[in-house]
A and B are shown apart, each in its own frame.
Chain A
Amino acid sequence: MRLGSVSAMDLRATGFRAAALLAAALLAAACGGGERGSAGASGAAVPDSARRGGTVVVGGQAEMPGVDPLAPPPDYMAAQVERYVLFMPLVQLGPDMGFRPWLARSWDVSPDSTEVVFHLRDDVTWSDGEPVTARDVAYTYRKATDPDIAFPNRAYFDRWDSVRVVDPHTVRFRIRPYSQFLFGWTQVPVLPAHVLEDVPDSALATHPFGTSAPVGDGPFRFVRHDQGDRWVFEANPDFPAELGGRPYVDRLVYRVIPDEATALAELARGDVDLLLDLPPQDVERVRSESATRLLTFPASTYAFVAWNTRRPLFSDVRVRRALTMAIDRRAMLEAVRHGLGSVATGPLGPWHWAYDSAWRPIPFDPDSAEALLAASGWRDTDGDGVRDRDGRPFRFTLLLPDVQVRQDMGVMMQADLKKVGVDLRPATRDFATLAGAIQDASRPYDAFLLSWSEDLVIDDRDYWACDRKDGPLQFSGWCDPTLDAVMDSIPAALDRAVKRRLLRTYARTVERAQPYTFLFNEDRAVGVRTGLEGVEMDVRGELRTARSWWLRPGAR
């Protein structure tokens, strides 16, 4: 299973439409103010009937490529619409990233963990009136794993071997045991077999199902799509009452507003109710205006510098620690993200349930950094301002994506490191070239700077495990056999407390070795118009609670 992905910010600037799992690096605020997570405030006293009605307009930067869950390219926004608006996955992720029933009322796992039986709800129908049945689940599984379809996240079902429909509401799978086996079913919603099964594979990607005629079973139904402009959804009156029933709002509209200044003006005017992905520099404005409020939450994205420990320059842990201590990460976070995030304490960020709020980042301490460098043999013997050892100066190249923010970060690092006698040479690469270089088997780099989004279920063996040292994602080349044992037991751990302990051990071990300098964790920020209530967001996505959003009468 693979984890994580490059943050969309790095992609976007090279020109690529956001891809990645969890991405779009923008936002949020340790810098004070701003509601964390929820913006529902005083809603409790308002009866259900008074919450009904109105249209919520959600503003976002990019058009969605379509809402067919299996068709590439993967898109952050489209995935949320598929998961929380138009369709229903079998299972949902709880706040602790545990699995909760959704379209599946329940599931049984055989004692040897090789068989899973899902019991589906019998009160869910597709928007064309057909019931949702086990046949739909089987169809979804077959297409998601069909090599000809090229479903990008096929790896979700790597350990799923076969499917059998037992009866209309029961479906049985054979699997190979894995504790996070249900994760794929939280990400991939069930598709309507009766609409799609007669469509030949080659025609599936261009079938109107994905763009102009989706048939769904989620809390909202498709109304219309005006290319490059908007997607319109309406409340599904038949959504099961047990799962919350019909959404409060009548309509949900996703509007594409590519220009950030225009989008902010629309939010301030009240023509947009919710603005996704606020750039850090706009956060203060949204917070201060009376017509809007700010919502921030930690994303699973962190910015880091990977040190190539295969090279002698970075093979010594004291040197890597010294470099981290020499970089003023707090100042960097303030400068490039206006404080929207937190200085990193290792690979596990505050978004994760196993994160320990008592963790403190390695301090910014140039004096200790100099002492550590001297202790490991790096001294400025020739008085040129750059430390040297055995006649070699401490000089290296830092690869950066061609994104302004990253280049700014490179320049700040250069200045910080210069003060401790280390000569950093920033080198910008377009994204395709950088991606090629960092995954190249010959590891042709000293260090590079990037931001990365973790999968919601942590399994980081591809980054650190000794047996994956030649894998494309073992960027640093550092590994530790005792850590391997810890990481191997994380996926299998079923007990919550055990799992938490293992994850924390993992995070601490990596932090101590500093194969990366973890720079900062990113928060995301969303602007909400006053009068829109019931909005709750976290790392699972911005639209997760869309079915319980409601508008105060004056805001409808």
Chain B
Amino acid sequence: MLRYTGRRLLEAVPLLLGIVTLTFLLLHLAPGDPTTAYFNPNIPPDVIEQMRRNLGLDRPLPIQYVDWLRSSFTGHFGYSFSQHRPVAAVIGDALPNTLLMSGISLVLIFVLGCAVGVVQAVRQYSPLDQALTVGALTLYSVPGFWLGLMLILLVSTPAVSSWLHLPISGMTSIDYEFLGTWGKILDRARHLVLPVIALGLASAAGVARYTRGAMLEVIRQDYIRTARAKGLSERQVILRHALRNALLPVVSLLGLYLPLLFGGTVVIEVVFSWPGMGRLLYDSILARDYPVVMAATFLFGALVVAGNLVSDLLYAVVDPRVRYGEGR
């Protein structure tokens, strides 16, 4: 297992290098550079030239590339062109916000998704199953940003806001600094409700469909009949014997959903004014803020690679038959 993990980590190195190299090339091939952002005839050409020099953009591309690699190895990543701060600080501000939102969404996706899927499988063809199927398919086909906007409108209508006063944007209230510790935690939690729902619900619906299918397959197996014949309660049969086996394919979904989740944050963060990585990446691409874009792509890449690895390792944990790295 350790050897396998090591090998996978080594494989990630050329992959990540490829990602950043491609990003670097695409960024520099795209028309414009950070100084094009100010097409303002008030700015004389020599000032533009000096800006380019100050940003180090006058050097040959290969040198800029090697320089970037060198600075990223030291974990510094250079300075943001558009925010005048070290890239590490810029990302350090945004990354935790995104991890918080997507982490909680991930929990929602799998807990809610699995629970609904199991209930549906157990009550197959019941009105409840059919209602949940319709609901899940509907949610699955709804784009996250649209769901987000609908939630905002819903929560803002007087009829709803009179009993459910949820914040619709940002991470904290304006008076956040003046709240007590519990007040702060509650305030943050309230701000998380809508974005997490908008980000996670569609994926949760997908997981529910998947779990339902996997459960149905497992429930028909002989060992389930055996378990029932042993006189185990239905609860034990489902939760202990069926669920664990049904979860195998679902766990591998984790690796698939991670990139989807990070992609989703870009849109959801814009809709809910969430100061996270998705928006940072988007804004930085528009501003041609090369150092931030490079570092953010690198990070997203690394997170996805790590997520895939974790899901493969989890696979071994839940399925005793899977043993990595042995006998090779």
Contact = CB atoms under 8 A, between A and B. Distances in A.
- Are these two chains actual partners, yes or no? yes
A529 interface: no
A228 B280 contact: yes
B326 interface: no
B84 A152 contact: no
B84 to A, nearest CB: 5
A326 to B, nearest CB: 30
A266 B155 CA distance: 11
A305 to B, nearest CB: 18
Contact of B42 (A57, A431, A455): A455
A65 B84 contact: yes
A56 to B, nearest CB: 10
A445 to B, nearest CB: 16
B84 A68 contact: yes
A472 interface: yes
A16 interface: yes
Given A74-B40, A255-B273, A256-B275, A265 B31 contact: no
A53 to B, nearest CB: 13
A271 B174 contact: yes
Nearest to B152: A265
B85 A155 contact: no
Could you say which of A66, A259, A268 has the most chain B C-beta atoms within 10 Å of its C-beta? A259
B273 A259 contact: yes
Nearest to B271: A259
Given A57-B174, A210-B84, A229-B171, A5 B41 contact: yes
Which range holds the interface residue count of chain A? 35 or more
Contacts of A430: 31
10 contacts: A4-B41, A5-B39, A6-B40, A17-B283, A206-B84, A226-B93, A230-B170, A265-B152, A431-B36, A432-B36
A67 to B, nearest CB: 10
Given A259-B273, A262-B168, A269-B156, A206 B86 contact: yes
A19 interface: yes
A147 interface: yes
A224 B32 CA distance: 33
What are the 6 tightest A-B residue pairs by CB atom distance, in nearest-first order? A228-B275, A432-B32, A150-B50, A5-B40, A432-B31, A229-B275
A152 B93 contact: no
Interface string A1-33: 011111000010011110111000000000000
Contacts of A48: none
B110 to A, nearest CB: 28
Could you say which of B36, B38, B156, B276 has the most chain A C-beta atoms within 10 Å of its C-beta? B38
Given A73-B37, A265-B168, 18 more contacts: A5-B41, A20-B40, A65-B84, A72-B35, A150-B51, A152-B42, A206-B86, A211-B85, A228-B279, A229-B275, A257-B170, A259-B271, A259-B272, A261-B153, A263-B169, A266-B169, A271-B168, A431-B39
A65 B82 contact: yes
A21 B40 contact: yes
A258 B47 contact: no
Contacts of A266: 168-169
B191 to A, nearest CB: 11
A524 B280 CA distance: 27
B50 A148 contact: yes
A397 interface: no
Could you say which of B270, B271, B279, B287 has the most chain A C-beta atoms within 10 Å of its C-beta? B287
B198 to A, nearest CB: 11
Could you say which of A15, A261, A462 has the most chain B C-beta atoms within 10 Å of its C-beta? A15
B90 interface: yes
B132 interface: no
Interface in B98-140: none
Given A19-B37, A435-B36, A262 B50 contact: no
A433 interface: yes
B34 interface: yes
Contacts of A154: 44, 47
Contacts of A253: 174
**Chain A at the B interface: SS class:** loop
A72 B53 CA distance: 13
Interface string A435-462: 1000000000000000000010000001
Nearest to B284: A17
A254 to B, nearest CB: 11
B94 interface: yes
A430 B31 CA distance: 8
A149 B54 CA distance: 8
B309 interface: no
Interface in B270-304: 270-273, 275-276, 279-280, 283, 285-288
A269 B174 CA distance: 14
Contact of B32 (A4, A16, A63, A228): A16
A55 interface: yes
Nearest to B41: A2
Interface in A493-525: none
A149 B46 CA distance: 12
Contacts of B273: 229, 255-259, 262
A151 interface: yes
A255 B40 contact: no
A414 to B, nearest CB: 26
Interface in A156-204: 202
Contacts of A462: 41
B31 A433 contact: yes
B161 to A, nearest CB: 7
Interface in A322-354: none
B79 interface: yes
Given A206-B84, A226-B275, A269-B156, A472 B43 contact: no
A12 to B, nearest CB: 8
B83 interface: yes
A472 B42 CA distance: 12
A275 interface: no
Contacts of A226: 93, 275
Nearest to A20: B40
Interface string A51-71: 000010100001101101001
Contacts of B156: 265, 268-269
Contacts of A432: 31-32, 36
Contact of B39 (A62, A66, A149, A435): A435
B42 A5 contact: yes
A76 to B, nearest CB: 11
A532 B103 CA distance: 39
A153 interface: yes
